[in-house]
């Protein structure tokens, strides 16, 4: 019997408009999952994330943004104001979801999974600040993470994404 490897496909998140979005909609895609904020020193990474999305213009790659107010209360916006800010100020076209908690007592189940090795069977990596990045393979499994100071356009992030896109591309 094959052991089931935990993945993100069982989770649902809320779109900015409040509708549920099952993460299974991103099955067979390489994902970069990032917790964001509009008033952070790392906020310019929103533009870099969009540049990364455009540079790796592959149908099986997506970036998922999750605004949070958990660090220094740097996300005062809500709902459509977040989407408008991201698009107008940083040209963001990748999916940005409704604001969630990424740590603490009310942490979103997706982030519980991503940050806890007991759940993801790969590694422990709780976000310590905004723009903590997780990379997910085509099977929905956590592969690695990058701290906020690792820029989205860094060679190590791009190399890992290309490697994962080329892995099992025909399966």
φ and ψ at 159, to 5 degrees? Answer: -60, -45
Phi-psi region of 124 (alpha: psi -120 to 50; beta: other; left: phi over 0): beta
Dist. CA 85–CA 94, nearest whole Å? 13
pLDDT for residue 168 is more than 90: no
Q: Looking at residue 140, what is its pLDDT?
A: 96
Task: Quote the pTM value.
Answer: 0.95
Look-up of token digits 């989770």? 11
Q: pLDDT tens, 106-152?
A: 999 999 999 999 999 999 999 999 999 999 999 999 999 999 999 99
Q: Looking at residue 167, what is its pLDDT?
A: 86
pLDDT for residue 169 is more than 80: no
The catalytic position among 16, 40, 63, 164 is 40
> In whole numbers, what is the pLDDT of the chain averaged over residues?
94
Whether 86 is catalytic? no
Buried-state track 25-39, b at ≥16 Cβ within 10 A, e below 16: ebeebbbbbbbbbbe
Q: Looking at residue 1, what is its pLDDT?
A: 46
Q: Looking at residue 3, what is its pLDDT?
A: 52
CA 124 to chain centre: 16
Assign domain 8-166 to its CATH architecture. Answer: 3-Layer(aba) Sandwich (3.40)
Q: Please give the average per-residue pLDDT across 27-32, as a whole number.
A: 97
Domain layout of the chain by residue ranges: 8-166
């Amino acid at each position: 019997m094959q052991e089931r490897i935990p993945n993100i496909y069982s989770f649902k998140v809320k779109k900015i408009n409040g509708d549920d979005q099952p993460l299974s909609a991103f099955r067979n895609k390489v994902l970069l999952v990032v917790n964001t904020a509009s008033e952070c020193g790392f906020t310019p990474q929103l533009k870099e994330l969009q540049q990364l999305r455009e540079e790796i213009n592959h149908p099986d790659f997506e970036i998922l943004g999750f605004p949070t107010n958990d660090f220094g209360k740097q996300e005062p916006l809500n709902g459509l104001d977040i989407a408008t800010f991201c698009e107008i100020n940083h040209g963001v076209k990748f999916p940005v979801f409704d604001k969630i908690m990424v740590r603490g007592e009310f942490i979103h189940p997706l982030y519980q999974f991503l940050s806890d090795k007991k759940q993801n069977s790969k590694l422990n990596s709780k976000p310590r600040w905004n723009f903590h990045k997780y990379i997910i393979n085509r099977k929905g499994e956590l592969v690695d993470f990058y701290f906020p100071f690792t820029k989205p356009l860094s060679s190590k992030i791009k190399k890992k994404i290309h490697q994962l896109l080329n892995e099992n591309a025909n399966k």
